[in-house]
Structure 1
Amino acid sequence: MSTLFIDAVIIPVDPAQPRWFRGWLSVDDDGRITGLGEGTPDPATTAAFSEVVDLNGAFLAPGFISAHSHIYTGGMRGIAHTEPLYTWVTQNSAMLAEADPEIMYWLSRAGGLDHLAAGVTSVYNFTQSRVVCRFDYASSTLKAVKVHDPDFVTRQIDGVADAGIRFVTSVRVDDEQLPEADAVAGFDAAMSHLTTIDAKTPALNLGGSVYGAVQWASGRRTAELEKELMEKWSITNQAHFVETAEQIEIQQAKFDWYDDAGVLGTDFAFGHFVHPTERMVERVVESGTSVVWQAMSNGRLGSGIADITGLLTKDVTVGMGVDDQSCTDTSDPFENMRTGLFTQRAVHSDASIMSVDRVLHLHTLGSASSIGVSDKVGSLTVGKYADLVVVDPRHPATGPVWDPVATYVLACGLRHMRKVYVGGKVAFDADLPGGVTGADGVTYDEVNRAADEGMVRSAVAGGFTPAY
């Protein structure tokens, strides 16, 4: 169905277009943007569309991209609320050790819907490994708590796809927790499973990726194996790295394992990158490696403040992610942008060091670039997918709009979200109870109920008791 949006305040986040303008945007039957411009189309043009949506001056912007999410974690909000990264992640693992593939399916589907309701239309998703681990402080490595079958991961992929969000699937290799052949076979099973998603909903699958794990490895082989799998499957890699100040010298010492293995480059990104050395930054710049920034998560866990403005000065490609729902406790890109914007300004005592336009770019087109999908999503550009958010600053009112981009970034939030479109089709509608019913007839409420019940079953089996 072709759709024409009219009377919209359009924020395209496209360097080739104005910052904003009042006008129209058209979408074809394949869910791609076919045109946009100022003013009002003539009646003959309007009549050619199956549907005309009058936005009556509401904002129309590209869907947010979360370039770093663990989408299954919504059932663990509020846990370890005064703990740093490694203590927090160990509790996550303990609560999930008794989960089964169907619990992971519903947790992943619920997480996808939660992201959509927040205006996130594409996500780089770190799946929960089939090897549930705890962090071992003595060795600074991951130790297996429980090993599941490969469908523990593939059912997560199914859940995200059934949520209707676009996604990159990131899978950890687990070569130090399993025999290497077994670890590779499990990884290959997940990558092969993506072909079944292509047969069902090809436009949603944005590709596979390696869940980089060198930060927790004991030797160089992990980096070498990740490189081999990147080449085997022609995929990207994103690694959590120097996220926390805990054991920072040990983390920094492992950087050369990636560099020596030839992993750095345009197909690779460091997630977090809060505590790099000068040499690490130099190699990121030289190699064209990206960095993905989780401002809210870094604050919640007390990890630190990444020098994002310094990286941007060096022309590093930077994206943003909303990270775990259990370490930001909300998948809110507006709050994430503002947290990042304000902390960068505060740490430099300079309000001009990062603009509203720049931080919006980071959570849309910058994020798409950092994970290699900017040809498909991230801006309102002809030929890209029509992944859109409709945000109305008048409901509830934010006052007169002097600069639409500034109002959008600084004054709007989830309470202003009216609709979210993926490929020109409604994926979330604030006026519908529970959002939007899935293609299989399952409602938002039913998905969340199944996810919550599964999470409680797993956690209680592991010795955790919910307050209610």
Structure 2
Amino acid sequence: MSEASTLLTIVNAVVIPLADGPVLGGAATGGAGGAAAGAGGTGWFRGWLAVGADGRIEAMGEGALPPERESIGSGEVLDAKGAFLAPGFVSAHSHIFTSGMRGMTPGEPLYGWVGEQSTFIAGADEEDVYWFTLHGCLDFLGNGVTSAYNFTDSRVVGKYDAETDRREIYAIRPEGYLHRQFDAARDAGLRTMNAIRLDSEFQPAEEAFDAFGRAVRYLEASVPAELSLGASVFGAVQWSASAQAARDEVRAMDEHGIGNQAHFLETSEALDQQREKFRWYEEAGALRPGFLFGHFVHPDTYMARVAAQKGAGMVWQPTSNGRLGSGVADIPRYRELGMPIGVGLDDQSCTDVSDPFQNVRIGVYTQRAVNQDASVLMPRDMLRMHTLGSAEALGVADRVGSLEVGKFADLLLVDPSSPDTGPVWDVHAHYAFACGLRNLKRVYVGGQLVSEDGVSTNPLAARASAELHSRVREVAARSVSRSTERLAW
């Protein structure tokens, strides 16, 4: 091994890989002996982890750093002093441009809340949405989210009316409005899968497909491969007026070889109308591996069974569903059906604090309360869903989601002693239930420090905050939003 090959080595850590198979043993990992998912089958071990110059985990092992690695002498060596070392969270469902809308419509369900958002964002231009998205991405990173599926804000300016099942369209923005959202995630350093809405209902179909293709090509050309988790179709049939929308989305999936995540059955509002549109996706051939239902709170028994049989998955947003009063997804049933399940933080405007630790606790506790069963969802299972499970649902588990040799070194250093959270009886339970943002000390993406003690290392961070505050006021004034009157400062 050459002296320049190691970027970072973290020693004296409680490593929580959140992997399913052996992570130790053999020359590839640099460990001694083998164990399923960690030492003694516990799913964690005390030891070290090394990051190569390529930003990937090159070795990990139990105990002290082996003498042969001590002699390498390259890169930073960090003593974790017994802190937890875990993979970065993966938010499998996010709308990151909403970072300036926290606290908006605090008592509205989905359609009232999203209607107010739509009114506000109608006043935004390309540079506004760039800074909104950049701020949101840095917020994710500072809170331990290192990879995200991002629903970009559509170029189409309009508002959906659930009572008439129609969307009123005001304008179609330039393609740069979409592209600048890709730029923002890149500039923040967040690994992102960007979802693009086809919007073939609101312009000639071939124009919509051409614009979609240009967006995919722009993404491929402008975002480095190590930061891009690919493109996806932003599924929008829930708000569509015709079954042709489902067929168009399938065409985009097939032409570009990508997946699709569709907001579906999130709220009990207009439920019969939503359920009728499930058939549109089914008949169009959309239900397959790589197709995800975002939320999926209110399907009937047939829908859940068919989706699982076809290989489709779902993404659960426990904090968002609670904030908007949408309901509680039947996660035990989906697990029994074998559906891929990811977890997301959704909008910053409906989680308010984009906190994955809070998302974990709300998820576990609501499932236990609804099912009246304290063991229905265990902490390691929930942590896995918000990391490796999300990566699997998105089809990127070969790169992110767990601490395994060859994967990107997206790492969280979480210190349960600062502030002190007491003795550790169970590592996964303590990490999930007792730790939080106050214990999050360092966030790494590809072995590079991106946040320390909640402070971003990104040179654009201070400007992003200033731009967000000034631009939100300007956009609110342009959109004549009801929220303008409530904007306190």
Same-fold status (TM-score > 0.5): yes
Q: Check if 1:26 corresponds to 2:50.
A: yes
Residue 200 of structure 2 corresponds to 175
Out of 2, 8, 17, the residue aligned to residue 12 of structure 1 is 17
Out of 12, 34, 39, the residue aligned to residue 63 of structure 2 is 39
Contact 2:126–2:177 (CA under 8 A) maintained in structure 1: yes
Q: Check if 1:467 corresponds to 2:484.
A: no
Residue 209 of structure 1 corresponds to 232
Residue 455 of structure 1 corresponds to 472
Contact 2:84–2:413 (CA under 8 A) maintained in structure 1: yes
Residue 261 of structure 1 corresponds to 284
1:368-425 Cα offsets, whole Å, 9 max, x none, are 0111111110000111100001111111110111111111000111111111000010
Letter in 2 for 1:209: S
Q: How many angstroms apart in 1 are the aligned matches of 2:91 and 2:264?
A: 18
Q: How many angstroms apart in 1 are the aligned matches of 2:233 and 2:110?
A: 21
Letter in 2 for 1:130: R
Residue 284 of structure 1: how far off its partner (Å): 1.2
1:90-110 Cα offsets, whole Å, 9 max, x none, are 110111111110111111111
Question: For 1:98, what is the secondary structure of its paired residue?
Answer: coil
Out of 427, 430, 440, the residue aligned to residue 407 of structure 1 is 430
Residue 178 of structure 1: how far off its partner (Å): 2.0
1:183-205 Cα offsets, whole Å, 9 max, x none, are 2222222111112224xx22000
Q: How many angstroms apart in 1 are the aligned matches of 2:217 and 2:307?
A: 31
Residue 79 of structure 1: how far off its partner (Å): 0.7
Residue 455 of structure 1: how far off its partner (Å): 1.9
Contact 2:237–2:277 (CA under 8 A) maintained in structure 1: yes
Out of 316, 331, 353, the residue aligned to residue 308 of structure 1 is 331
Identity %: 45
Residue 81 of structure 1: how far off its partner (Å): 0.7
Out of 436, 444, 456, the residue aligned to residue 435 of structure 1 is 456
Q: Which region of structure 1 is more displaced relative to structure 2, 446-455 or 392-401?
A: 446-455
Question: For 2:349, what is the secondary structure of its paired residue?
Answer: coil
Aligned ranges 1:368-383 → 2 under 5 Å: 368-383=391-406
Q: How many angstroms apart in 2 are the aligned matches of 1:306 and 1:313?
A: 13
Letter in 1 for 2:63: G
Q: How many angstroms apart in 2 are the aligned matches of 1:215 and 1:77?
A: 24
Letter in 2 for 1:151: G
Aligned ranges 1:12-161 → 2 under 5 Å: 12-16=17-21, 17-18=37-38, 19-48=43-72, 49-161=74-186
Q: How many angstroms apart in 2 are the aligned matches of 1:62 and 1:340?
A: 19
Question: For 2:351, what is the secondary structure of its paired residue?
Answer: coil
Letter in 2 for 1:347: V
Contact 1:96–1:455 (CA under 8 A) maintained in structure 2: no
Residue 34 of structure 2 corresponds to none
1:196-246 Cα offsets, whole Å, 9 max, x none, are 224xx2200010000001111111111111111111111110000000000
Aligned ranges 1:223-242 → 2 under 5 Å: 223-242=246-265
Residue 132 of structure 1: how far off its partner (Å): 2.1
TM-score (norm: length of structure 1): 0.96
Letter in 2 for 1:90: G
Residue 137 of structure 1: how far off its partner (Å): 2.7
Contact 2:443–2:450 (CA under 8 A) maintained in structure 1: yes
Residue 446 of structure 1: how far off its partner (Å): 1.2
Residue 4 of structure 1: how far off its partner (Å): 1.1
1:120-141 Cα offsets, whole Å, 9 max, x none, are 0000000000112211133323
Q: Which region of structure 1 is more displaced relative to structure 2, 301-310 or 43-52?
A: 43-52
Number of aligned residues: 460
Question: For 2:233, what is the secondary structure of its paired residue?
Answer: strand
Out of 338, 341, 354, the residue aligned to residue 318 of structure 1 is 341
Q: How many angstroms apart in 1 are the aligned matches of 2:206 and 2:473?
A: 34
1:417-438 Cα offsets, whole Å, 9 max, x none, are 111000010111117xx42133
Residue 338 of structure 1: how far off its partner (Å): 0.6
Contact 1:90–1:133 (CA under 8 A) maintained in structure 2: no
Residue 188 of structure 1 corresponds to 213
Query: Runs of 5+ in structure 2 lacking a partner?
Result: 1-5, 22-36
Q: How many angstroms apart in 2 are the aligned matches of 1:375 and 1:29?
A: 19
Contact 2:188–2:458 (CA under 8 A) maintained in structure 1: no
Residue 341 of structure 1 corresponds to 364
Q: How many angstroms apart in 1 are the aligned matches of 2:488 and 2:425?
A: 46
Q: How many angstroms apart in 2 are the aligned matches of 1:54 and 1:142?
A: 55
Letter in 1 for 2:210: A
Residue 452 of structure 1: how far off its partner (Å): 2.2
Residue 305 of structure 1: how far off its partner (Å): 0.5
Aligned ranges 1:257-296 → 2 under 5 Å: 257-296=280-319
Letter in 2 for 1:221: Q
Q: How many angstroms apart in 2 are the aligned matches of 1:362 and 1:370?
A: 9
